[in-house]
């Protein structure tokens, strides 16, 4: 079985690393363009497969984002079958009244604007594929109709804004045969997830028991996300899909 080419941001740890590991195990011929900020620190990622290409990318740098097309050309990639926007930040588990301007701007810059700008740079390569999947890793914190009553301010708002862009992209690209979705990977015991969960324990202790039952390891989450990605069809275009494969409300 011939493999596919995946472009995964933030592949060096957490969900991105486990998703990469899942895709390599699924088909050794899969090629993974794995973005990392510091290639020298990605030895474990590189060791997963000879078909993993380490790709330098800093979501906070416009220069780095602008260099994506030329970097793809350097490695001889002109077609991407599956784009996965995974890298993000979560550092605003405080109330709206307490959240300072710099945190609002930082979360919007990384979790929304960078995701869109990166996709703009890889769009032509994805459009050349017959698969045409664009996956944005979102969060249950980004839903408006099933709001989780705990302070998330800039983080929750950024994921809601990302979800809006997913809906818009799914409409704009439907006629081209794209499948554009958001995926909520669950409450995951990554460094970022554990930090946030610890703060939730303090701010909203009544939620801890119910949220604890939903906690996943990075491997469980990465595998769940991978299974969803592989099963996507054009009928899923525009959906917000939970890690358990159920559809989330926006």
Judge whether 208 and 200 are in contact, CB under 8 Å: yes
Question: For this structure, is 6 an active site residue?
Answer: no
Single out the catalytic residue among 159, 201, 239, 250: 159
Q: Are the C-beta atoms of residues 122 and 178 closer than 8 Å to each other? A: no
Six token digits for residue 56: 């330098």
Sign of CA dihedral 3, 8, 10, 14: negative
Out of 155, 174, 239, 250, the active site residue is 155
Task: Provide CB contacts within 8 A for 34, sequence distance 6+.
Answer: 8, 11, 12, 16, 20, 42, 45, 52, 53, 54, 55
159 part of the active site: yes
- CA-to-CA distance for 101 and 91, rounded, in angstroms? 13
CA distances to 47, 60, 142 from 71, in Å: 21, 17, 32
In angstroms, how far apart are the furthest CA atoms of the chain? 54
> For the chain, where are the alpha helices, taking DSSP H only?
14-26, 43-46, 62-66, 68-74, 101-108, 114-127, 153-172, 191-203, 205-212, 218-231
Report d(CA 80, CA 31) in Å as an integer: 10
Which positions are annotated as active-site residues?
155, 159
């Amino acid at each position: 079985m011939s493999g596919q080419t995946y472009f995964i941001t933030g592949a060096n740890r957490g969900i991105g690393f486990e998703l990469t590991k899942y895709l390599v195990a699924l088909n050794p011929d899969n090629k993974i363009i794995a973005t990392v900020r510091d290639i020298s620190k990605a030895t474990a990622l590189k060791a997963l497969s000879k078909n993993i290409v380490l790709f330098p990318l800093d979501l906070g740098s416009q220069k780095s984002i602008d260099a994506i097309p030329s970097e793809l050309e350097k490695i001889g990639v002109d077609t991407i079958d599956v784009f996965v926007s995974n890298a993000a930040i979560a550092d605003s588990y405080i109330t709206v009244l307490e959240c300072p301007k710099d945190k609002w701007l930082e979360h919007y810059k990384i979790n929304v604007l960078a995701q869109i700008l990166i996709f703009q740079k890889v769009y032509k390569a994805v459009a050349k594929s017959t698969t045409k999947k664009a996956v944005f890793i979102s969060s249950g914190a980004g839903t408006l109709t099933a709001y989780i009553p705990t302070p998330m301010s800039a983080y929750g708002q950024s994921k809601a804004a990302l979800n809006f862009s997913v809906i818009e992209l799914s409409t704009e690209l439907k006629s081209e045969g794209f499948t554009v979705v958001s995926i909520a990977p669950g409450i995951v015991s990554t460094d970022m997830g554990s930090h946030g969960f610890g703060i939730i324990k303090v701010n909203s202790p009544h939620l801890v028991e119910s949220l604890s039952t939903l906690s996943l390891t990075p491997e469980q989450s990465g595998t769940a996300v991978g299974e969803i990605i592989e099963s996507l069809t054009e009928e899923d275009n525009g959906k917000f899909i939970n890690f358990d494969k159920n559809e989330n409300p926006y």
